[in-house]
Amino acid sequence: MPPKRKAKKASEKTPATEDSGAGDTATEEKPSPSKKQKIEADGDSGKKGPAKKGKKAPIRKEDTIEPLPEGTDTSFPTEVNPDAKTKDGRKFSLKIASWNLNGIRAWYDKDKMSYIKTESPDILCVQETKCQEDQLPPGVIDKNYHIYWSPAEKAGYAGTGLYSKKKPIKVTYGIGVAKHDDEGRVITAEYEDFFMVNAYVPNSGKGLVRLKYRTEEWDGAFTDYLKKLDAKKPVIMCGDLNVAHTPVDLKNPATNRNKTPGYTDQEREGFTKLLGEGFVDSFRALYPNARDCWSFWTYMMNARAKNIGWRLDYFVISERLQKDLCDSVIQQKVMGSDHCPIMLLMAGLK
C-alpha cells in the first residue's frame, strides 16, 4: 500500500507551480460519441456502429424505460436545501461533496475555488485530478481544510484528492492490492462514526479494452475492500464510479448497451452485486422515479446544452446509515468540468 500522505495546511509550503492545464490532456475514455457520428435527437451519448440500410436494431425490453403512472413526480434536487432532514425529522449536520474535476489545473483555472467557498462542505472528494503533488496550483490549498492527495504514478492520469475540515483519525491510500493501487484511485478517511471512501473507478476504455480488468478484477476487489470496512463501522463511498446502473441513468440506453464503457451488462451487474452486500445508492433511495438526473455530459457536440448525459457519480452508503440520510443532490447548474458535483447531507454523524 502506498505510504500515508501528510495533510497539507496553508501554513505549510507546497512545492507547486501555476500550470496552464496542458498536462490534463492525458485522459481516460468517457462515454462519448465518435467525432464522425451525430448525436441523435432522442439523445445518444455513446458510440454507435454504422447503421445498416433498411434495418433497425431491435429494441430489447431490458433496454426500454418503463413508463410511470401519470402525475408521478420525476424531479430531483439540483441545489442544497438548507432545511433538509431525515425521515424522523433530524436536520443534517454533515455536508459531503464529490466532484470529478477532469484535471485539477484546468478546473482551477475556471473555478478559482469558488465552489468550495460557496458551498463550504465538511468533506470534499475530488477525482481525476490528473496532477502530481509538486504540480498543483498553490491556490488549491485551503487553510480551512486538511488536504490529502493520491496521484497516479502515470503523469496526467486519474488521481484523487480529499479535503476535510475535521482531521480524520486515519487516512489510507488504495485498497491494499498492489496491482490496483498505482493509479491513485482510492482515498479512505476514517472518522469517529464512519469511513469516508473517495473512489475513481477504472473506465473500461475505448473499445472496452479494460472491461475484463474492470469487471473481473477491480470490481470484486473493491467490493471486498468496502465489505471489510463496513464490518468495522459504516461506510460512505462516493465518486465517479463509471457506470450507469439502470436504463434511466443515461439518455439512450438502447444504443449504448454493451457497446459503450459504463453501460455494459458486466459493469452494471458489478454495481448490483456491490449494493447487494449491504449498501444503498443514496440518490435512488430518495428519488427512485427521477429522470434526466445526469452528472456527466461529454464536451462533444454540445451535449450539456442538449442535456444528453449519464449519471456516473454516486454516494453509496451502508444500509444502516439510511436512517441518517437527509438528501442526495446532483448540482447540475455548477459548471467547471464535464461532470457536475454531487452533494450528500447526513444527520448525526461525527
CA gap 342, 330 in Å, rounded: 5
Strand order in the sheet with 313-318: 170-173, 186-190, 195-200, 235-240, 313-318, 279-281
The gap between the terminal CA atoms of the chain, to the nearest Å, is 27
Q: Which amino acid is at 76?
A: F
Pick the catalytic residue: 230, 240, 313, 327? 240
CA atoms within 13 A on the CB side of 312: 29
Among 283, 276, 272, residue whose Cα is nearest residue 322: 283
CA nearest neighbour of 244 among 19, 30, 10, 7: 30
DSSP annotation string for 183-252: S--EEEEE-SS-EEEEEEPPP--GGGTTHHIIIIIIHHHHHHHHHHHHTTS-EEEEEE-----SGGGBS-
C-alpha cell at 146: 486538511
Torsion angle in degrees (nearest 10) through CA of 275, 277, 278, 283: -10
Is 24 known to be catalytic? no
Task: Count other Cβ atoms within 10 Å, centred on residue 101.
Answer: 29
Q: Choose, from 108, 191, 200, 263, the residue flagged as catalytic.
A: 200
Q: Which amino acid is at 335?
A: M
Catalytic residue check, 200 = yes
Please tell me the distance from the alpha carbon of residue 187 to that of residue 146, in angstroms, as a whole number: 13
Q: Which residues pair with 310 in a beta bridge?
A: 250, 296
Residues annotated as catalytic are: 200, 240
